[in-house]
A and B are shown apart, each in its own frame.
Chain A
Amino acid sequence: MNAFPANHIAVDFLVFVLSAFLGLELVRNVSRLLHTPLMSLTNAISSVSVVAALIVMSEPRKTDSIVLLTAVATALAFVNIVSGFMITERILKMFRKEKKN
């Protein structure tokens, strides 16, 4: 038997720890000018939780309440995806280095 069985919890923890260190390093280097759009961007990114909604919906046991909760969660996540990316784009467009004329 393999001494290190492919345990998905252990792998998830590994992914978690690596992402945490990577995220801390990446965000530490973000210019302070951009902290507001950074927040709207990460909000949109974390709404990838719609993936979770799709997975829950594909599972076998579905009562009406599960379907309802999942549909509401999907709508809420989509509000964030759409508004998060659009506001980020709106803000980033405003930043300019020198005067236009």
Chain B
Amino acid sequence: MENSSVKDLMIPISEYATVVLGTPLADAVTALEKAQEAYTASKYQHRAILVLDNNDNVVGKIGQLRVLEAIEPEYDVKDKIKELNHYNFSEEYQAQLRNKYRSEVPILKTEQLKVIATKKVEEFMQKPSSGEFVAESCTLDTAIHKLVAGRHQSLLVTRKEKIIGILRMTDVFAAVFHEIRVFDV
């Protein structure tokens, strides 16, 4: 374990759910389903979709929370609340109002879901931040530190400039847990 490197635990990008820029959300979800069906190496299923540009470079990621955020009427709420920021209203008041507005607008409405399904992935994908990358040759120590410090669910694994895989927190945790379990205290 001490000598393990990132590449020992990473999932190659070819086994992950990927879509290209311009893909509607509905197709991205289908791609995730297919990748989950094909993946048998671990009991933990993929939970995110990677977004690629025309040169197959990873330019973004869509997690489950991101999809749920997209179907919430958050964007309208943001506009209403934004104004209050300029006029000295407290954070508590804004949070209270956010909840009020959210509760007034139903989420699971057919019309709303139809609109979301046709939206392009780039509208709600998350661009990777600088702390989200880890080289394939790095030790697991480095990877664990990056996961914890950045509160990431996964890291993008690089070889030189290219992203070649994903290191998931679930796989790192399983490996660490397996090592701990042998110490029968």
Do A and B associate with each other?
no
A interface residues, Cβ below 8 angstroms from B: none
